[in-house]
Amino acid sequence: MSSQFIPSGRTSVIKRGEVTFQLQTEFANMPFPRVTTTIFSNGQVLHKINNEISSPVDSFERMHEVEDIIKAQHMDIYKTLRERGLPTAPKSKIGESEKKTRSEQIRDIEGVERVYLITPDGKLVGDKSTTKQFKKMFKHLFRELPDMLGVFAELPGQGREEGIYEVEPGRILLASTGVEFFLILLIADSSYHEIAPQVSAIIKS
């Protein structure tokens, strides 16, 4: 990536009662192009949310597209954090921040073809190319995403329930950590009964 094409990141500070959160969203090029939002509090990493993007930043037009993704992802997470807070206590320390994100861990499961990140209000997180690809593959699901999240009940001040929902048997899963949501495309003929427990372990970690 040329140094002249570096998308601008965003930072925010959010106070909920006596707790102060720092929210940072930025572009990273290695090991793959992605937009990462990190939530800190008292020197600890509480959550790290990665959104892989489909192509490098190699022009001013592309840089501005990625800046729009950064803004949208940052504001979605900001809104969720401000209104609902986090569902669990801090688990990850700064020294552990290089661990794989949940989406990366899910993607590594044998039998998983692709993972899409969904915002708490049912919007697909991604650039134009990702959205176009998603619509092509899941045209029948695209408009139903907000309603689909309703299978996970809202919890007062804690986001939604954790869990896994089989959207299409043996092909598509929807997973919830309470604040992160993943639409998981399985390789044809993969075993739901083998994959679901692995996804469940990741979303509970």
Q: Is residue 36 part of a domain?
A: yes
Last residue of a domain, one of 96, 111, 134: 96
pLDDT surpasses 70 at 127: no
Q: Are residues 82 and 140 in the same domain?
A: no
pLDDT digit string, tens, across residues 177-205:
887 888 898 988 888 889 999 999 888 77
Q: Is residue 2 part of a domain?
A: no
pLDDT of res. 98: 43
pLDDT surpasses 50 at 97: no
How many structural domains compose the chain? 2
Its pTM surpasses 0.75: no
When mean pLDDT is compared over 91-95, 101-105, 163-167, 176-180, the highest value belongs to 163-167
pLDDT surpasses 70 at 104: yes
Q: Which residue has the higher pLDDT, 30 or 170?
A: 170
| DSSP secondary structure, 137-168, as one string | H-HHHHTTHHHHGGGS-B-TTS-B--EEEEEE
Average pLDDT over residues 135-140: 78
Token pair listed for 149: 């999240």
Adjacency order of strands within the sheet including 34-41 = 10-16, 19-28, 34-41, 44-52, 92-93
Q: Are residues 16 and 90 in the same domain?
A: yes
Q: Are residues 42 and 106 in the same domain?
A: no
Q: Is residue 37 part of a domain?
A: yes
Last residue of a domain, one of 96, 115, 142: 96
Q: Is residue 4 part of a domain?
A: no
Portion of the chain with pLDDT greater than 70, in percent? 85
Q: Which domain holds residue 59?
A: 10-96
pLDDT of res. 195: 92
Portion of the chain with pLDDT greater than 90, in percent? 7
Q: Are residues 35 and 54 in the same domain?
A: yes
pLDDT of res. 189: 80
Q: Are residues 78 and 115 in the same domain?
A: no
Residue 4 CB burial class (10 angstroms; 0-12, 13-18, ≥19): exposed
Last residue of a domain, one of 39, 72, 96: 96
pLDDT digit string, tens, across residues 47-72:
888 888 777 788 888 888 888 888 88
For residues 32 and 188, what is the distance between their CA atoms, to the nearest angstrom?
26
Q: Which residue has the higher pLDDT, 11 or 134?
A: 11
Q: Which residue has the higher pLDDT, 13 or 31?
A: 13
Q: Which residue has the higher pLDDT, 21 or 99?
A: 21
Q: Are residues 16 and 108 in the same domain?
A: no
Q: Are residues 115 and 170 in the same domain?
A: yes
Cα–Cα separations (whole angstroms), residue 100 to 27, 103, 180? 16, 8, 15
